[in-house]
Amino acid sequence: MLFQVNIRVSATTNHKLQTINMSLAKIHLSSEELEFVQNAQLLLTKNNIIEKVYELFGELAARLQQEGVYPSTVLTEELLSQSAKISRGEKYKGLPYVMLDYPRSFGKEDIFAVRTFFWWGNFFSVTLHLKGKYQQWLMPLLQKHKSLLAENNFQLNVTGDEWEHDIREEDFITISEYENGIHEEKLAGKAFYKLSSRVELRQWNEMNEILLRLHRVLTKAITG
């Protein structure tokens, strides 16, 4: 005697099976990923590099304070009273970063901050971030030193996002472009003002002096 068994799979069950299969496919490793996950040294090297960035920024902060790069004759006690802050993260656009904020004053309406930034696989940068009363106070002084800023590759942020750290060609304009009226409409009426200078990672071994020089440039530009 022959028995016939009919198995009916509901649409819901079938969908769940498809979802499971898709999930399994996602957690499978490519040959490149499989090689990476077996190499502990790669991650240990990455951690070592991040620690070296911490040391670099710590030394930079100490020199900025000890050498009085931002003197009280230029900046107010309010700006210099807060100690340097070094912080890190793993996922700025998917990549590790370290940043030093000094001098710094972050308020809801008023911001003065010089941020030194390391972004894995991309660059170091030094950024002057102004908003509110500090923007009104310092922008005329920065205008007077536009040639100095241009010589040191400082560019103007023209995005609407004051927390954007990626220095992309479409988001920044050179000082000369600004002076020639190019993209002037993008800067008109902006609620913040950001100047950034990018330093390539291949210059790592000279980075301490390069970053210190860029901080000195900013000091000179806001001296008046």
The average confidence (pLDDT) of the chain is: 85
The answer to whether the Cα torsion of 123, 127, 131, 136 is positive or negative is: negative
The count of C-alpha atoms lying within 13 angstroms of the C-alpha of 98, restricted to the half-sphere facing its C-beta, is 17
Helix (H, G, I), strand (E, B) or coil at 123: strand
Region 105-134 average pLDDT = 95
CA-CA distance, 143 to 221, in Å (whole number)?
8
- The pLDDT of residue 170 is 74
Determine if the pTM surpasses 0.75: yes
Whether residue 26 lies inside any domain: the answer is no
Q: Which residues contact 222 (CB under 8 A, 6 or more apart)?
A: 74, 75, 138, 141, 142
CA-CA distance, 58 to 214, in Å (whole number)?
16
DSSP 8-state class, residue 30:
P
- The pLDDT of residue 159 is 80
pLDDT tens, residue by residue, 92-110? 999 999 999 999 999 989 9
Start-to-end Cα distance in the chain: 103
Whether residue 97 lies inside any domain: the answer is yes
Whether residue 4 lies inside any domain: the answer is no
Helix (H, G, I), strand (E, B) or coil at 116: strand
Sheet holding 85-92, edge to edge: 85-92, 95-106, 111-119, 123-131, 192-200, 154-157, 172-174
pLDDT tens, residue by residue, 131-160? 999 999 998 888 889 899 999 999 988 887
Whether residue 10 lies inside any domain: the answer is no
pLDDT tens, residue by residue, 10-21? 556 655 556 555
Tallying the residues shown for the chain, one arrives at 224
pLDDT tens, residue by residue, 35-84? 999 999 999 999 999 999 999 999 999 999 999 898 887 787 778 888 99
Region 192-217 average pLDDT = 96
Q: How far is CA 52 from CA 41, 49, 91, 168, in A?
A: 16, 5, 19, 26
CA-CA distance, 28 to 45, in Å (whole number)?
25
- The pLDDT of residue 4 is 54
The count of C-alpha atoms lying within 13 angstroms of the C-alpha of 118, restricted to the half-sphere facing its C-beta, is 27
Whether the pLDDT of residue 5 is over 70: the answer is no
Q: Peptide bond before 96: cis, by omega within 30 degrees of 0?
A: no
Structurally, the chain folds into a number of domains equal to: 1
- The pLDDT of residue 182 is 47
Supply the range of the domain harboring residue 207. 32-221
Whether the pLDDT of residue 9 is over 60: the answer is no
Of 62-66, 109-113, 183-187, the one with minimum mean pLDDT is 183-187
